[in-house]
Amino acid sequence: MPEPRSKRQTLSFLMKRFEEVGIEPRKKLGQNFLIDLNLLDLLLGAAELGPDDVVLEVGTGTGSLSARMAQLAAEVVTVELDPQLFEMAGEELHGHSNVHMLHTDVLKNKNRLNPAVLDVLDARLAAAPGRRLKLVSNLPYNIATPILTNLLARDNPPATMTVTIQKELADRVVAVPRTKDYGALSVWVQSQCRARVVRVMPPSVFWPRPKVDSAILHVAVDPALRDRIADREFFHGFVRALFLHRRKFLRSVLASAMKNRLDKPTIDRVLAEQGLDGTRRAEELDVETVLRLADAIRAELAV
């Protein structure tokens, strides 16, 4: 059985454990441990884990959060890259038969998740009827964006993603048009999900303290929203191209993105049909407008 809640993931407990094994948190791997137990409760509460859930955790850390989730969910698949933390977490998680520890990188590369991790997830999801995937993690800051975006690109994404990330990234996810944070990530997530910031957190609730504020972000996939996207791979590429030069005029951005595929007169016609002025900028377009424009461009490419 896990240790009592009061002894896990507090500052004194973590410092003692790290000293015992002679290691220190590795900044390169984004190792910042949430030490406020009330905020761990808030993270778990927002995730709303149940007996049919298979949880993906990226960054096992000491295994404290994994152990708590194992008591709530059907199974936990937890991924840790650091060999020393993997060993430390193994001691914490010993005896939890529904926890599957993977010592690997969750990413194959920036644009692709590790197939070995996906194979384990798919197997656990198929182990019983009615299971659903959820992401619950204190995400390492340096890989948070590719984790979120690549999971949403899957045919079977997590039903929800409840994570601690940099506040700056959370702001980008929930941003609205005509703001500095609004961009490709905002559109990609909001075109498929309902997203909200649960709580903003100061550096003092982590050990070691990061230099920036963090946030608990909750993202719920909405199947009705996803169904509007006929070709997610095309849409993902289109959105990234649209915001690559966010301050350029829309006509110029599309001409560059569609070079050798659509000529400028065709682009002008598509913009006119969509009621869009070519001198507008991508950051001014709401999600619905970007969806319609992507569909129109895709239709022209298919002619």
75 forms beta bridges with 54
Q: Which domain holds residue 292?
A: 232-302
Residue 25 is predicted with a pLDDT of: 78
**CATH number reported for the structural domain that contains residue 207 in this entry:** 3.40.50.150
For residue 20, pLDDT beyond 90: no
Q: What percent of the chain has pLDDT over 70?
A: 97
- Could you tell me if 262 and 218 lie in one domain? no
Most confident of 18-27, 242-251, 278-287: 278-287
Helix-strand-coil split of the chain, %, nearest 5: 45, 20, 35
How many CA atoms lie within 13 Å of 278's alpha carbon, on the beta-carbon side?
A: 15
Q: Mean pLDDT throughout 239-248?
A: 91
pLDDT tier for residue 98 given thresholds of 50, 70 and 90: very high
**CATH number reported for the structural domain that contains residue 243 in this entry:** 1.10.8.100
DSSP state of 34: E
Find where tokens 């194992």 sit: 70
- Could you tell me if 37 and 180 lie in one domain? yes
CB 76 within 8 A of CB 55: yes
Q: Which of 174, 191, 224 is the last residue of a domain?
A: 224
- Could you tell me if 205 and 244 lie in one domain? no
pLDDT tier for residue 272 given thresholds of 50, 70 and 90: very high
User: What is the tens place of the pLDDT at every residue in 165-196?
Assistant: 999 999 999 999 999 999 999 999 999 999 99
Mean pLDDT of the chain: 93
Cβ-based neighbours of 263, under 8 Å, separated by 6 or more: none
The tokens for 117 are: 């991790």
Residue 161 is predicted with a pLDDT of: 98
Q: Mean pLDDT throughout 280-300?
A: 97
> Using CB atoms within 10 A of its CB, is residue 151 exposed (0-12), middle (13-18) or buried (19+)?
buried
For residue 135, pLDDT beyond 90: yes
Find where tokens 């905020």 sit: 39
Q: Which of 224, 253, 269 is the last residue of a domain?
A: 224
- Could you tell me if 86 and 152 lie in one domain? yes
Q: Which of 160, 192, 224 is the last residue of a domain?
A: 224
- To the question of pTM greater than 0.95 for the whole model, the response is no
Q: Mean pLDDT throughout 143-159?
A: 96
What is the chain's Cα-based Rg? 21
Number of structural domains the chain divides into: 2
Give dist(CA 119, CA 99) in Å, integer. 15
Q: What is the number of residues in the chain?
A: 303
* Cis amide bond preceding 210, omega within 30: no
